[in-house]
Structure 1
Amino acid sequence: MMTTTNKPNTAFWIIAVLALLWNLMGLFQFFGVAFMLEAMVEALPEDQATLYTSIPQWYIIVFGIAVFSGVLACITMLIRKKITVVLFLISLLAVLVAQIYWIFATDVMDVIGPTAIAMPLIVIAIAIFLYFYSKGAAQKGWLR
């Protein structure tokens, strides 16, 4: 494996900042689910409220692992540390567990419909991209 000491290109910085903003939005969502779920579901129809309030505690913990490791990965990416790759891997694995559960083990398709899986699929795609992008950045020597 060839490692260089090249400085990251402009795209790296744009991706790192956008990734941080994305993960901060995830963190905001996590705090809503973890601490304000009852208030968030008050305006929803009963079947949707039941769907959200029946989420198991382990799911919320995995969601937290996904977003906290994602935010930390973005911060370490901005300061160009190799630990970024490991943090994005942890985030990706947690995202996969959470989103696969949401899509296949809940009634989300019956309650909300097929459009309910759009965001989980986007979240998975972004997590996969960030993991592999960080691996590439490490191989290019952009992360030390």
Structure 2
Amino acid sequence: MSNVNKPTVAYWIISIVALIWNATGVNMYLQQAYKTDSFKAMYNDEKALELINNTPTWAMGAFALAVFGGLLGSVLLLLRRKFAKPVFMISLLGIIVQLIYNLFISKAMEVYGPGAAIMPIMVLIIGIFLVWYSQKAEAKGWLL
């Protein structure tokens, strides 16, 4: 007997790409949180490094929630678990809080210019997509 609710190849590709994307986010969070030498080396501009090093705890907490939630959601998607959707929703909440800080509270726009909005908006779009896709996967019966 075959499973009629077998996920498509696209499902597996999206799940793996989501895992890699969110693992990269976790790496960036850990580098920023621990202020590693490789992280500091990414910034030639002292103002940019100062801005990042002075990120408030609540914004770093939102960053952690976003990336660790995204990583866990991606693992759950790969394991075909329904709990992926609420975990992605929690991650999205972290993304939104972090976006508000980066675009409206910090001086990122002053330091980086209008380009500072590109990455946060891209992260938001991907976060929304992962919530939507996990909901779609659940509706199709791909998640158990």
With normalisation by structure 1, the TM-score equals 0.91
Structure with the larger RCO, 1 or 2 (CA within 8 Å, 6+ apart): 1
CA shift, 1:44, in A, is 2.9
CA shift, 1:40, in A, is 3.0
Task: Name the amino acid aligned to 1:81.
Answer: R
Identity of aligned residues (%): 38
Structure 2, unpaired ranges of 5+: none
Q: Secondary structure at the match of 1:55?
A: coil
CA shift, 1:124, in A, is 0.4
Task: Name the amino acid aligned to 2:31.
Answer: G
- C-alpha distance in 1, partners of 2:37/2:106? 18
Of stretches 47-56 and 9-18 in structure 1, the one that deviates more from structure 2 is: 47-56
With over 3 angstroms needed to count, the CA separation of the structure-2 counterparts of 1:104 and 1:41, relative to structure 1, is same
CA shift, 1:37, in A, is 5.5
- C-alpha distance in 2, partners of 1:39/1:83? 35
Number of residue pairs aligned between Structure 1 and Structure 2? 141
Contact 1:41 1:52 in 2 (8 A): no
Q: Which residue of 2 aligns with 1:136?
A: 136
**1:6 equivalenced with 2:14 (yes/no):** no
CA offsets 1:49-102 (integer angstroms, 9 cap, x no match): 221121001111111111111111111111100000011000011101111211
CA shift, 1:46, in A, is 2.5
Q: Which residue of 2 aligns with 1:45?
A: 45
Contact 1:5 1:140 in 2 (8 A): no
Q: Which residue of 1 aligns with 2:92?
A: 92
CA shift, 1:45, in A, is 2.2
Q: Which residue of 2 aligns with 1:118?
A: 118
Please provide the CA RMSD for this pair: 1.7
Q: Which residue of 2 aligns with 1:109?
A: 109
CA shift, 1:26, in A, is 0.2
With normalisation by structure 2, the TM-score equals 0.91
Q: Which residue of 1 aligns with 2:59?
A: 59
